Structure formats: structure tokens, C-alpha cells
Amino acid sequence: MQILVLNGPNLNLLGSREPAVYGAQTLAQIDAELRQMAGARGAVLDSFQSNHEGALIDRVHAARDDGTRFIIINPGAFTHTSVALRDALAGVAIPFIEVHLSNVHRREPFRHHSYFSDLAEGVIVGLGAAGYRLALTHLLDGGIKPAR
Ligand code: DQA
């Protein structure tokens, strides 16, 4: 099983970026844990972070042909703005789980709306980096049916 983890803008700063909100773990540490968890269960995990909307869209398009079965995505601030990234995920029709480190619902009102949640198989917010691990565990346990 092949799983793609996508992270949007500013998530490359994890570890030093507002640690009270986003935690102390770096993205490299989170990715390494996820890769190890997937590997231990015979799955392959690829991760990609970009600060650029088009690069994320290109990576989603590439996932259509590279064997990706599921996507775990934290779109960062694009959550609240990007119709284009939403359309990319809808276009490739790969099932995805949306993850946010912080509880966006108890933050500023502009963070309460997501362009992704109504397309997502599930949404995990506010559990920090554990959210990625819980999403991955659910996928590895066969909790979501692959589209193909
Ligand atoms: C975030 C929440 C977004 O509102 C914010 O813009 C981020 C991170 C989170 O993981 O909590 O960059 O997606």
C-alpha cells in the first residue's frame, strides 16, 4: 500500500513555528516516524511539503499515476483559501484524510472553514502530530476503502 503525506505552506517551520500552537516536533521528525510506522506494516510512505500552491497541485496530479492509494494532507493556510488544491484532490479521486495540528475551530473565525473537509474521508484537528499518526494507523488498519 502506498500512502502520500502532503503538507502545505509554513509547515516546513514546524518545531520553531509557534510551538505553543503547533508543537515542538519538526516536520522531518514527524515524517520519519510516519515512514517507520508504514514500513513496519509493509506500506510505503512518501512525503512532500511545499509553500507553493502549484507545486502541491502538481504533486497531487502525479499521485494519480504513481501508485498512491491514500493521501494524508495538512493543507496549512491553503485549507481556508484554495479552491484549486481542492479541485486537484477531487480530480484525482484519491481518498484522503485532512489533518490539522491545532484545533482550528477554537481559533480565528477565518480558520473555521475548510475547502477540503466535505471531500475528506475524515478530519482530525487539534491533536498535534498525533493526528498524522492516527490517520496513518487508520489507513494501515484498512479503515478506508481504496478508490482503485
Ligand atoms: C494548520 C491550521 C491552519 O489554519 C494554519 O494556517 C496552518 C496549520 C494546522 O495544522 O493546525 O498553517 O493547518
Q: Where are the domains of the chain?
A: 2-140
3-state helix, strand, coil in the chain (%, to 5): 45, 20, 40
pLDDT digits (tens, 9 = 90+) for 12-26: 999 998 899 998 999
Kindly report the pTM of this predicted structure.
0.97
Residue 101 Cα to ligand 1 middle (Å): 7
User: Is position 22 annotated as part of the catalytic site?
Assistant: yes
CA distance 75 to 55: 12
Which residue lies with its CA nearest to atom 6 of ligand 1? 77
pLDDT digits (tens, 9 = 90+) for 74-117: 999 999 999 999 999 999 999 999 999 999 999 999 999 999 99
Atom of ligand 1 nearest to the CA of 125: 11
pLDDT digits (tens, 9 = 90+) for 111-135: 999 999 999 999 999 999 999 999 9
CA distance 59 to 143: 24
State the fold for domain 2-140.
Rossmann fold (3.40.50)
Select from 12, 27, 110, 111 the residue to mutate for testing ligand 1; criterion: most ligand atoms less than 8 Å from CB. Answer: 111
